[in-house]
Amino acid sequence: MGYMKNWGKTHKLSIESFDHKKGTLDLIEKIPAFKSVIKEGVERYIQSCFPGATPESFEKIFNNCYVHGTWITQLDNDDYAHKHHHMPSQISGVYYHSVPKEGEGGEIYFDTPVTGQFSSGTTAGFGFPQAVMRPEEGMMILFPSFLEHGVRTYSGDHPRISLSFNLEESSSSNPHKIPLF
């Protein structure tokens, strides 16, 4: 694995997994337990977003939910992930496979999507609020793909490894996707 070109000192990736023509979805097909974990998490996530929806509505949503990108991220000492988003996907997620207990940093953070909220003259010095989460091994985080997020600098002697994915609805024109349900 190497650093992504033009990203600077940021996270190392399974670069081939970003290219839909080079087996990007192999992680889902080769690791059935990974697909099962994603499916269960997405079910809970969607149900929490639409608490009053009917079973028929959920079935329609689930039947139109596709995985269209997966990748592995390895954070070594002093690596981080720059702030970014995953548009035009609808749901993005990360599953933490290996989080060394002796490592420090490496928290994922999410910035508020409400720009200008804290830019008045009296509050300009406070900056934008962030939600920060410290990953734990076996944890999965799902979030709307439009949310800008990044990973704080990781310090540790052993790599932190995560598996990430993007989900989209079936109406997308992307031919490289597999059904989640």
pLDDT digits (tens, 9 = 90+) for 65-89: 888 888 888 888 998 888 889 998 9
Identify the segments of the chain with pLDDT beneath 70: 1-25, 27, 115-128, 171-175
Query: Which domain CATH number covers 147?
Result: 2.60.120.10
Structure tokens at 69: 């990108």
Residue 168 contacts residue 66 (beta carbons within 8 Å): yes
- Residue 139: the pLDDT is 94
Q: What pTM was computed for the model?
A: 0.80
- Residue 120: the pLDDT is 55
- Residue 15: the pLDDT is 47
- Residue 82: the pLDDT is 86
- Residue 117: the pLDDT is 55
Look at residues 2, 170, 175, 137 and name the one whose alpha carbon lies nearest to residue 73. 2
How many domains is the chain partitioned into structurally?
Answer: 1
Domain of 119? 2-179
Q: In what order do the strands lie in the sheet with 81-84?
A: 81-84, 149-151, 108-111, 130-133
